[in-house]
Chain A
């Protein structure tokens, strides 16, 4: 029998620790497939952030460095400057990237650092138990907004891509989702485009991936994907914000 698919070699054999229905696993796989297809395993260096994906270093079959919460793009900057021929990517949640690490995100983008950022937006701080993140939707319940996010008290969801799109240092910028097979394929194409931006030395690439957190949303996996499609995508429209020739 002809084998048509398998586990990408850029993933280790270790089973994911993610909750059932969590889309971190799908996103790991997409990144690993892209690493493999672009033949990057020999030169890829990943930065694991702090969040549910803190163990990313156990799953990606390449060199990995653990960064402090929010500091991944700065660490990536250092690695890329030291090894300009390497391929450097960060893997960050919305708490890590949009909250405590928003300064690093903006400045790495503004400097046009030649790195790739995989930004997993699940609208809460998953790891610490589902507190409000900058990306939490208005009305969405979280453990620090038990009655739902109230814009007058807690402000509005932070649109990271919309903010970054004005920066000339950004080479590729897209928001995708992994809530259906078609969207998963589109997400993979976006990740490969962002990789290409770095490989061609054009500049900063970021792919925001709307992701589910069934555990903290208190939804079953299917309903959680519906929440991504119906609620999150309404606030965070899927689109390519910046591309290159």
Chain B
């Protein structure tokens, strides 16, 4: 293991390049994809690897995302490790197949480069695409930066294919902000990744002539319910598996991941909850505020599905007020999805901090440190006054 740690190479890569590198090292048997900004580069780079003979993957440039996901499901069910990647409307166009992949318990791993959904048409980052798919039955892992995208993709293969899990996983990065921004990324050696992910064994592959089978037959009142309950139980079981794989990966890479990441939460009286690249900006603001003597901290959600309810309650156990940041709106009038679910989780907690929701960054609207500072100051106000929480605020929008 020490060998693996030493052999890591630091390279400057964009988020998309980091994702494509992970795909190359994972070397799936089949990749089927359709281009969409800002995901395009991942698949394009991958097709270059195919054409240069660096991977033995079958690459199919299909006619739409609906077909891309269908082909990926077909390949994975047939017994191949299969992947695709998408963004925004591409993910929306996969909708039908997302539910089918999860319902069939097909362990696909898919990078998603977050981009706003139409309409109005927009190519920049927000989380409306993956948040819209939050109840499709997929595990969702959000990455803060290129390094996390790389690390999460490699772990996702093991999590998805674990016999206790067998669920598809989407691993996200923020469009343009991370997908097209260049950072230092520590890369494991090809062979180390290959050994880590191992061989793909779908437990029920096709062409096992001793055991002919049908994948996805009709079930009605008789068995549909049991299938769905099993699916929910697999999602529940994935929590333990995600932890085990994170520990395995930490031994290999020196990088430890959890469901949530607490940043300077020790002694914090108020905090923000974020996911994605904004965590990076928020950490910078926390550092500044801490220097000024403020008692603030940050909780980053890495795994959104399964939702880390208990982990969040623990992280927020000593907090008086929390600002929960959403880069998408649910239009439920109850705030964004991160807000609604965090609040629901806190209902079970012994400490119930005051909560406020910040909807921010829609359609790629920049989230500057000054805006995050403003949010922190408002949350501090909530923590130190008699004001009641629960409101929904919009950060950085024109009135």
Contact = CB atoms under 8 A, between A and B. Distances in A.
Interface of A: 50, 54, 66, 68-70, 99-100, 102, 125, 127-129, 131-132, 134, 143-147, 154
Given A100-B34, A129-B44, A145-B47, A69 B89 contact: yes
20 contacts: A50-B121, A54-B121, A66-B118, A66-B120, A66-B121, A68-B89, A68-B118, A69-B93, A70-B64, A99-B34, A99-B64, A100-B93, A128-B36, A129-B44, A131-B40, A134-B63, A144-B35, A144-B47, A146-B47, A147-B51
B387 interface: no
Given A99-B63, A99-B64, A100-B63, A143 B44 contact: yes
B388 interface: no
Contacts of A54: 121
B51 A145 contact: yes
Nearest to A69: B89
B23 to A, nearest CB: 14
A55 to B, nearest CB: 10
Nearest to A149: B61
B26 interface: no
Contact of B40 (A100, A128, A154): A128
Nearest to A147: B51
A100 B35 contact: no
B37 interface: yes
A143 B40 CA distance: 10
Given A68-B118, A70-B64, A144-B35, 7 more contacts: A66-B118, A99-B34, A125-B35, A128-B36, A128-B37, A129-B44, A146-B52
A132 B61 contact: yes
B64 A131 contact: no
Contacts of B47: 143-146
A144 B44 contact: yes
Contacts of B37: 127-128
A106 to B, nearest CB: 13
Nearest to A101: B64
Contacts of B64: 70, 99-100
A135 to B, nearest CB: 12
Interface size class on chain B is 20 to 34
Tell me whether chain A's interface is mostly helix, strand or loop, or mixed. Answer: loop
B220 interface: no
A96 to B, nearest CB: 11
B61 A144 contact: yes
Contacts of A147: 51
Contacts of A50: 121
B99 to A, nearest CB: 20
A131 B61 contact: yes
A66 B48 CA distance: 33
A93 to B, nearest CB: 13
B175 to A, nearest CB: 13
A115 to B, nearest CB: 21
Contacts of A131: 35, 40, 44, 61
A131 B43 CA distance: 10
A227 B47 CA distance: 25
B34 to A, nearest CB: 7
